[in-house]
Amino acid sequence: MTLDAATLILGLVTIVITGVAIYTDIRWGKIYNFLTMPALGLGLVLNFALRGEEGLMLSAQGVGVGLVLFLVSALFGRLLGGGDVKLLMAIGALQGPHFLMWTLFYMALAGAVLAIAVALYHGILGQRVRALAASCYLRVAQGMPMEMNEAGGGPRLPYAIAIGVGSLVAFVFAHGG
């Protein structure tokens, strides 16, 4: 299947942005605003330039889905880091809301596999499962916020990897690859 120019350009920009985010998340443990905020703006501008008003509206809706994700994450106690959410908002701006929803689905699967692999590698899978169960219990029974990013210490999980894999899988499936 051949891709139109707009899809190809937006796809390449998405790949570059997520690639840089993966690098910075692995190297420095952060996804920087100087990457995500211009990428979000670029998504809006490119979609308008390449697809007109309809493209701009889809781009804005993609940002909106990312914003809702931020609010949900904040409500439940920082399920994702701020850089992760801003990267997802940028992907939404570049690719639109439908694509972002699929990215979230595949990101969750990739993140689970990555978390299990890291926990197995470091020999802490049982400890992590117990910490997750305790955090869920405290959230449900006690109404305390879940703090998934910092629970239990141990090795860091650069979640940009899962976001990148999720967006790549979403792109491949969305465009018949």
Every domain of the chain and the residues it spans = 5-174
Q: What confidence score (pLDDT) does residue 13 get?
A: 97
> CA-CA distance, 26 to 161, in Å (whole number)?
8
Quick: pLDDT tens for 8-66: 999 999 999 999 999 999 999 999 999 999 999 999 999 999 999 999 999 999 999 99
| Mean pLDDT taken over the chain | 89
Helix locations, the chain, DSSP H? 5-28, 33-75, 82-95, 97-122, 125-142, 160-174
The percent of residues in the chain predicted with pLDDT above 90, rounded, is 64
Between CA 11 and CA 115 the distance in angstroms is 27
The helix-helix angle for 82-95 and 33-75 (nearest 10°) equals 110
- Six-digit token string for 97: 């809301």
pTM over the 0.75 mark: yes
CA 46 – CA 52 distance, rounded (Å): 9
Kindly state the percentage of the chain with pLDDT values over 70: 91
- pLDDT tens-digit map of 90-116: 999 999 999 999 999 999 999 999 988
Contact 14, 91 (CB under 8 A): yes
First to last CA, the chain: 7
What confidence category does residue 175 fall into, taking pLDDT thresholds of 50, 70 and 90? confident
Locate tokens 């993609």: which residue? 62
